[in-house]
Amino acid sequence: MSRHIAFMAVPAHGHVNPSLSLVAELVRRGHRVSFAINDEFAGLVSSAGAEVVRYTSTFPSEKDGRSTWPDDAVGAQRLFHDEFLAVTPQVEAAYSRDLPDAVVYDIGAWHAPVLAKRWGVPAVQLSPTFVAYDGWAEDFGVDLSAEPLPEAKAMDEEFAAFVARYATGIDTVEIKYQPRRCVVTIPRAWQLRGDTVDERYTFVGPSVDERQGAWTAPADRKTLLVSLGSAYTDQLGFYRDCVAAFSGLGWHVLLSVGRFVEPADLGVVPPDVEVVQWVPQVSVLSQAATFVTHAGMGSTMEALYFGVPMVAVPQAVDQHINGARVAELGLGAHLPADEVTPERLRAEVLRVSADPDIAANLARMRAEVRAAGGARAAADVVESLLG
C-alpha cells in the first residue's frame, strides 16, 4: 500500500547524499516520498523522485566563495542548533495539511524526531556515520560529568525549552545521540566496537548513487583520484604538493580541487595531471587504482564499495576517525595533514596500491559492504514501521 514518507536532512552533501538511493527505492516500491530541504539541494532530491518541501536554511551555502564550515566543537554545535531553531517551525507549517505516515531523517535534522513525536508518526534515523555504543566516551576521552562551556550550556538550555514547546516524551539524548530506531549506512565491520551496538541499529552499508554521470579512464594507465570532498577544499598548498608528488608517476592523476580553488591557480601542470573542480566520483572510483581522500564518510564508503585503496588525509571532524580506521583495518594509509609532503604522498600511494594484504582486506570489506543490503534493506526497515 502506498504511504507518504517524509525525509528530512540538513543541507550538506554528506547528509543528503546517503539518503538518495533509499528515496529512489521507496519511490520504486510505490510510496509517495517528500523531502524537506532548501533550494540548493532541491534539484538533487527531486532527481531521486521526491517531492520537494522547501524551507530557508541557516547552513553555509556550498556555493559560497570560501568555506565557512566551523572546525571546533562549539561552533559545530551552534551550526546545528541555529538550524534546528529556524527550520522546525517552517517544516511544521509546510506539512500541516499533508502529514506523513513516517519520517526518515538524517542525524543532523534534529527537527525531524521532534515533529514526528508531535504528529504521532514513526520515525527512523538514517545515520551515515558511526553510532553511539557503550564506552564511547571513555574511548574518546570525553568526561560526560564535566561542566559544559558557557556557550554550549546556554544552547543546551535553549534547546530543551524549544523542544518542550513542540513535544513531550522526547529528550535531548534521543534527538541528538540515541534514536529509538536507526538505519546505518556503513557496514558493521567499519563501526567502532560494532559487536556492542544493540538491535535498534540496522547496518545496511552504503548505497552508491550512480546517477552522477559517467567518466572513462584512460585505457593505458592506472587512475589516481585526489579529492578533499565538497566542504574543506580550500587547500591550494595541498594540491600543489599533489602535482609535485604524482607527476611523472606514469598514471593518470585526476585532481579535483573543489569550488574554492580555480584550476588556473595551479599554473601549468604536467600532461599526466588533470585538474578539475568536480568529478562524478562514483564513476571514477569504479575505475580508479588508488584514492587520495579527506576520508569523509561518504567518500570512504564509496571507496570501500569498489575496493579502492586509500591514502587518507583528514581535514576535520569525523574524517580523523575515518583516517585512523583506514590504517587500523589495513585498507590503506593514514597521513595527517601536518605530515604531508610530496615525498610522503608519493610513497604512500605507491605502497597501498601494491600491498597484497591491503588488497585482500579490501576484497573482504567490499564483499561485506555489498552483502549488507544497501537501499533495499533500508527500505525494508522503513516499511516495517508503517504497519
Lowest-confidence range among 3-17, 61-75, 162-176, 352-366?
Answer: 61-75
Full strand arrangement of the beta sheet holding 201-203: 51-54, 32-37, 4-8, 102-106, 123-127, 182-184, 201-203
Lowest-confidence range among 130-144, 179-193, 333-347?
Answer: 130-144
Which element (helix H / strand E) includes 34? Answer: strand 32-37
Lowest-confidence range among 2-16, 140-154, 265-279?
Answer: 140-154
What value does the CA radius of gyration of the chain take, rounded to a whole number of Å? 21
Q: Is the confidence at residue 65, as pLDDT, over 70?
A: no
Q: State the pLDDT at residue 140.
A: 66
Mean pLDDT of the chain: 92
Average pLDDT over residues 211-240: 90
Q: 62 pLDDT band (50/70/90 cuts)?
A: low
Are the CB atoms for 283 and 277 separated by under 8 Å?
no
Pairwise CA distance, residues 48 & 15, whole Å: 15
Q: Which residue's entry shows cell 510510496?
A: 31
Average pLDDT over residues 159-179: 93
CATH of domain 223-370: 3.40.50.2000
Are the CB atoms for 11 and 59 separated by under 8 Å?
yes
Q: Is the confidence at residue 91, as pLDDT, over 70?
A: yes
Q: State the pLDDT at residue 68.
A: 63
Q: Is the confidence at residue 172, as pLDDT, over 50?
A: yes
Average pLDDT over residues 44-64: 90
Q: 64 pLDDT band (50/70/90 cuts)?
A: low
Alpha helices in 227-333 (DSSP H): 236-246, 281-285, 297-306, 319-328
Q: Is the confidence at residue 222, as pLDDT, over 90?
A: yes
In the chain, list all ranges with CATH 3.40.50.2000. Answer: 4-205+372-384, 223-370
Please name which of 283, 260, 265 lies closest in space to residue 275, comparing C-alpha atoms.
265
Pairwise CA distance, residues 124 & 12, whole Å: 19
Q: Which residue's entry shows cell 579535483?
A: 256
The cell for 115 is 515533529
| pLDDT tens per residue across span 230-283 | 878 899 999 999 999 999 999 999 999 998 899 999 999 999 999 999 999 999
Pairwise CA distance, residues 322 & 110, whole Å: 24
Are the CB atoms for 309 and 353 separated by under 8 Å?
yes
Q: Which residue has the higher pLDDT, 6 or 65?
A: 6
Q: How far is CA 146 from CA 2, 142, 150, 215, in A?
A: 48, 9, 12, 51
Pairwise CA distance, residues 7 & 52, whole Å: 10
Q: State the pLDDT at residue 142.
A: 67
Domain range 4-205+372-384, its CATH number among 3.50.50.60, 3.10.20.310, 3.30.499.10, 3.40.50.2000: 3.40.50.2000
Start-to-end C-alpha separation, the chain: 10
Q: Is the confidence at residue 20, as pLDDT, over 60?
A: yes
Q: 141 pLDDT band (50/70/90 cuts)?
A: low
Q: State the pLDDT at residue 281.
A: 93
Which element (helix H / strand E) includes 13? Answer: helix 13-28
Q: 168 pLDDT band (50/70/90 cuts)?
A: very high
Please name which of 63, 61, 38, 33 lies closest in space to residue 48, comparing C-alpha atoms.
33
Average pLDDT over residues 315-327: 91
- In sequence order, what DSSP letters do the residues of 44-80 get, joined into one string? HHHHTTPEEEE----SPPTTSSS-----SHHHHHHHH
Q: Is the confidence at residue 143, as pLDDT, over 60?
A: yes
Q: Is the confidence at residue 211, as pLDDT, over 80?
A: no
Q: State the pLDDT at residue 63.
A: 65
Pairwise CA distance, residues 213 & 10, whole Å: 24
pTM for the model stands at 0.88
